[in-house]
A and B are shown apart, each in its own frame.
Chain A
Amino acid sequence: MPDSNGAVRVGVYVCHCGSNIAGIVDCKAVAEYAAGLAHVVVSRDYKYMCSEPGQELIRTDIQEHQLNRIVVASCSPHLHEHTFRVATANGGLNPYFMAMVNIREQDSWVHTDKAAATHKAKDLVSASVRRVVLQRPLDKARVSIDPNVLVVGGGIAGIHAALTLANAGKHVYLVEREATIGGHMAMFDKTFPTLDCAACILTPKMSSVKAHPNITLWTYSDVENVAGYVGNYKVRVRRRTRYIHEDLCVGCQECVEACVFKVPKVNDEFNQGLGKRRPIYLPFPQAIPQTPVIDRETCIEFKTGKCKKTCVEACADRHAIDFKLEDKLEEIQVGTIILATGFQTFDAKRIPYYGYGHYPNVYTALEIERLVNASGPTSGEVVLRDGKTVPKSIGIIHCVGSRDENTNRWCSRVCCMYSLKLAHLLKEQTGAEIFNFYIDVRTPGKGFEEFYQRLLVEGVHFIRGKVAEVTDWVFDPSEEGMLTLRVEDTLLGVVRRIPVDMVVLSTGLEGRHDAQEVRRLFNITCASEGFFQERHPKLAPVSTFTDGIFLAGCCQGPKDIPDTVAQAGAAAAEALALICAGYVEQEPNAAYVIAEDCSGCKNCIPLCPYSAITFTVDKRAEVNPVLCKGCGTCVAACPSGSLQQRMFEDDELFAEIEGVLVHA
């Protein structure tokens, strides 16, 4: 393998990418121009460099023309750098003798002036040719992968990912913030379009999580700190105390019954505040684990210290309840992490003209899920807030908070279908007249459109138009005591007033309120909407830009249960792929000290965020290549130029700068 910088022979390849590049950039001209550059022996343009024949071209040229440097001008290195390094290696060269030029994402796709775009491509190629001449042969370092996996979030995504990995024989730590796993799915009544009950399909999976020997389940817990890198993450988890020993509690719930609060008074979060709970409670009957929680804010003992502690009596000789218990910190070592932190629903109060929080009989969809649920606050009886009146007419407003410049611009994907589902369930239980107000009905899924047709047959009304307001303004005596929806029926072309007893707001999905903190904690990126960003929208939908961290479920974007489960499986598979390989190769871009040149001024040491630089006994700086992530901050600061970075050496970057500017 030639690795000398001696007789340098460069091959340049300009990709058309069909018309993606060639449509704007004159690839032929660029190749001809490159042919005239110093050290360039071969210069070609080709339709698809990433294709098999394209790569073959590189391989054969290397051999026929004794090339020892390769420049490929095509798409973003984030897409195909790996591809062309492999092609280079297949030709018998060190893969790091290849340099890529981005003339698609950052040239042909963003410019319209062909001459200027071609000029730009030439400059970038000239820079890369100058750079590649100086590039050194490098070898990837291998980092071993700890087989343990951390799954964050115990909704259906986290549950499925955890089970998949556990069944593959890997140990999983499943960390959930709430007191139970199950997430939003546990709150749903039935699931569209099949109408099978959510609990019936979810709870068995929940119990197998609890029972699985390979799963360590920590609920009521938060990830507090994440350190390390792919294969070797050190994670600190805070297990908030329930004031009940999980190991001593048998889940009999006698303490809950025995609570001094004979009548539950606290708003029940699981039931969206439609029901009440006690200070000591189990979120819902099938909760996993079956260990109750004591909530400090409302418990008499914590507020006054003078409670009769009837709960403790009830627990008797099991002694599971202990008001002195404290949070527990767990330090774990994992190789990969799957984030399944889920979503939150749009806050309907942000749209004042729909009257949520102002008019009692305006509900969110999630409230209705609980209301129609047999185990819900009204045991499945659909009544208005007064607790008795059964609604005779119901208006369901789609796209609340979604597809709107003023709130969230995206389509939340599930609202149409869950609105149809709720329409069906509400009609089934109340026989009420039901009006759906929609912008478009979107039913792209297996059995979705059929379900829509079924509702039309059932006589549910569909009115195409964005509701202007929900008001108690009475224009006609018939509206007295009702909520009137004012809407332009865009099919009839008239403005209508439709009075109803109950209004349901189909609120959209958005990223968790604390998505930003979580994102920083795991050092991944967020898309502008507050959902976590995948590495590539098509080719790497569950990976992130941080190696070893994967995404599952709605934390990456709105999706329904089947898609969520599929994605969770994919994330698990990605993690398994790393674990089974046993190691991951690291980009060899670490910084290094030229020992004989270093004066030991220590300037670099505090600049390293990973404490990878140490001061040696012979009073010089030294970089630990495993800890170094290759940011190069120390290199830029070394006052005597004795620190360098592989792949981004000073001379390589100076050469690039000269290269882009040399041809006016």
Chain B
Amino acid sequence: MKPKVAFYWCAAGGGCEEMVVDLAEGILDVVAAVDIVLWPVAMDFKKADIEAMEDGSIAVAFINGAVRTTEQEEWAHLLRRKSQAVIAVGACAQMGGIPGLANFSNRAGVFQTVYRDAPSTLNAEGVLPETTHQDNGFTLTLPRFFDTVKALDQVIDVDYTIPGCPPTPQLLSDAVSALLAGKLPAKGTVLAPDQALCMDCPRKDTKPERLAISEFKRPHQVLIDQEKCILAQGLLCLGPATRSGCGSRCIEGNMPCTGCFGPTSRVRDYGGKVLSAIAGSADSNDEAEIARILDKIPDPAGTFYRYSLPVSELQRKRL
């Protein structure tokens, strides 16, 4: 009998679904090898179907996305109960990801922006989502939206993690085949190499030994040299602090690494660490000059915690 596999999405951008689709023909092998019992984006299963299943009857649940609503919380717990193994897929599930940036605000702030202030919003009456709503005798409900976005393992116990925004199809199929072969590593493992991206960066050799940055630049401000180390060109490439395994996709696209694979296992707070490394390269010992150089880094908190705010030491902004 083929092992049962579930795919679920929480708060995410859909990239992780894309990743599955990006398996291309490979997906057929997956379908052939496993029995998909849940995949909201592609197939129609109901919550009841899953609830009806026996606990632990699903071999592995691949869950992407962060947890920010009661519905997502319920699904996470449900799948945990029904599955032998849960694999957090993608930066959102692993660290909160882009949705995690909402932790600089709270529900009220998010609603205000999204349903009222955003230039693209048309909402003359300024209606905001309600958890329950009466409509000619019927009670309509919506899941409750939390003030704080959480990573999956802040809600349920997670067995493995596949990092990335999104992860590469390769990482997924590796995981699946490891699963089929019953060769999964120790619990808690992040299924990607434990060194930083520079390790296999194609431009590694062009990075100077004594890098000193006197002016930080942003991608739209310069014509980025295709060959040279991007950080050495003054752009905030977070590769030195970011786990490899992505195949240097951004670098290949001549764009700096923004850190979606998160830190190595030896770093607790990604933002704090990368901040330390970057600041050290500021080329001055003069207080005013140091300030001038670092002024060129827009929104430091948002930049360094782009994907990992919910799992950082401080987790969210204090309001």
Q: Which residues of A contact B198 (CB under 8 A)?
A: 599-602
Which residues A574-604 have CB closer than 8 A to chain B?
Answer: 597-603
B276 touches A597 (CB 8 A): no
Are B264 and A640 interface neighbours, CB within 8 A? yes
CB nearest to B244 among chain A residues: A599
**CB contact list, A536-587 vs B, under 8 A:** none
A607→B209 CA distance, assembly (Å):
11
Taking A601-B196, A641-B266 as contacts, is the C-beta distance between A636 and B276 under 8 angstroms? Answer: yes
Contact in complex: B274, A639 (CB < 8 Å): yes
Closest beta carbon of chain A to B246's beta carbon, Å: 13
Report the minimum CB–CB distance from A616 to chain B (whole Å): 12
- Given contacts A601-B240, A603-B280, whether A639 and B196 have CB atoms under 8 Å apart is yes
Q: Do the beta carbons of B273 and A639 come within 8 Å of each other?
A: yes
Chain A proximity mask over B248-276: 1 for CB below 8 Å, otherwise 0: 00000000000000011011100001101
**In contact, A640 and B267 (Cβ under 8 angstroms):** yes
* Contact (Cβ within 8 A) A606 B276: no
Decide: A637 and B280 in contact? CB cutoff 8 A: yes
Residues 416-465 (chain A) with a chain B CB within 8 angstroms:
none
Is A601 in contact with B209, judged by CB distance below 8 angstroms? no
Interface residue range, chain A: 20 to 34
Residues in A174-211 with C-beta less than 8 Å from chain B: none
A607's nearest neighbour on chain B, judged by CB, is B280
**Interface set, chain B 180-200, CB cutoff 8 A to A:** 194-199
Contact of A640 among B207, B241, B280 (CB under 8 A): B241
A660 proximal to B (CB < 8 A): no
Q: In the complex the two chains form, what is the Cα distance from A12 to B139 in whole Å?
A: 65
Contact string, A638-649, partner B, CB cutoff 8 A, digits 1/0? 111110000000
Q: How far is the CB of A658 from chain B (nearest CB, A)?
A: 12
Any chain B CB within 8 A of the CB of A323?
no
Query: B266 and A640: CB pair below 8 A?
Result: yes
- Check if A599 sits within 8 Å of B209, measured CB to CB: no
Q: Counting chain B CB atoms within 10 Å of each CB, which of A602, A638, A640 scores highest?
A: A640
B241-A639 in contact (CB<8A):
yes
Q: Which residues of A contact B276 (CB under 8 A)?
A: 636-637, 639
Asked whether A473 is an interface residue with its Cβ less than 8 Å from the other chain, the reply is no
CA distance A637 to B239 in the complex (A): 14
Q: Given contacts A606-B210, A615-B209, is CB(A599)–CB(B277) below 8 Å? A: no
Kindly state the separation between the CA atoms of A642 and B239 in the bound complex, as whole angstroms.
14
B308 CB to closest chain A CB (Å) equals: 14
CB of B281 closer than 8 Å to a CB of A: yes
| Count of chain B residues with a beta carbon within 8 Å of a chain A beta carbon | 28
Residues of B270-319 at the interface with A, using a CB-CB cut-off of 8 Å, are 273-274, 276-277, 280-281
Q: Does B211 contact A (CB under 8 A)?
A: yes
Contact in complex: A606, B267 (CB < 8 Å): no
B20-59: CB near A (< 8 Å → 1, else 0) gives 0000000000000000000000000000000000000000
Complex: A602 Cα to B203 Cα, angstroms: 13
Q: Mark A649-663, 1 if CB is under 8 A from B, else 0.
A: 010001000000000
| Nearest chain A residue, comparing its CB with the CB of B278 | A639
Residues of B within 8 A of A639 (CB): 196, 240-241, 267, 273-274, 276-277
The answer to whether B280 touches A597, judged by C-beta atoms less than 8 angstroms apart, is no
Contacts of B239 in A (CB 8 A): 601
Does A605 touch B at the CB level, under 8 Å?
yes
In the assembled complex, the Cα of A603 lies from the Cα of B263 at a distance in Å of 16
Please give, as numbers and ranges, the residues of chain A lying within 8 Å of B204 by CB-CB distance.
Answer: 600, 619
Closest beta carbon of chain A to B271's beta carbon, Å: 11
B204-253 contacts to A (CB < 8 Å): 204, 207-212, 239-241, 244
> Chain A residue with minimal CB distance to B212?
A606
When distances are taken between beta carbons in the complex, the residues of chain A under 8 Å from B274 are 639
Residues of A within 8 A of B266 (CB): 597, 640-642, 650
**Cross-interface CB contact of A641 among B197, B207, B210, B267, cutoff 8 Å:** B267
Query: Which residues of chain A in 105-150 are interfacial with respect to chain B, using CB atoms and an 8 Å cutoff?
Result: none
**Are B240 and A599 within 8 A (Cβ)?**
yes
Q: Min CB distance, A619 to chain B, in Å?
A: 7
A140-180 interface bits toward B, Cβ cutoff 8 Å, 1 = contact, 0 = none: 00000000000000000000000000000000000000000
Name the residue on A nearest B267 (C-beta): A641
Contacts of A606 in B (CB 8 A): 209-212, 281
Q: How far is the CA of A306 from the CA of B281 in the complex (A)?
A: 56
Closest-CB distance, A640 to chain B (whole angstroms)? 4
B277 and A638 contacting across the interface, CB-CB below 8 Å = yes
What residues make up the interface of A, taking CB atoms closer than 8 Å to B? Answer: 597-603, 605-607, 615, 619, 633, 636-642, 650, 654
B: residues with CB less than 8 A from A are 194-199, 204, 207-212, 239-241, 244, 263-264, 266-268, 273-274, 276-277, 280-281
The 5 closest A-B pairs by CB, nearest first: A641-B266, A639-B241, A599-B196, A601-B240, A599-B199
15 contacts between A and B (CB under 8 A): A598-B195, A601-B207, A602-B198, A602-B209, A603-B240, A633-B280, A637-B276, A638-B277, A640-B195, A640-B241, A640-B266, A641-B266, A641-B267, A642-B195, A642-B264
Given contacts A599-B197, A599-B198, A602-B211, 11 further A-B contacts (CB under 8 A): A599-B195, A599-B196, A601-B239, A637-B277, A637-B280, A639-B241, A639-B276, A639-B277, A640-B241, A642-B195, A650-B266
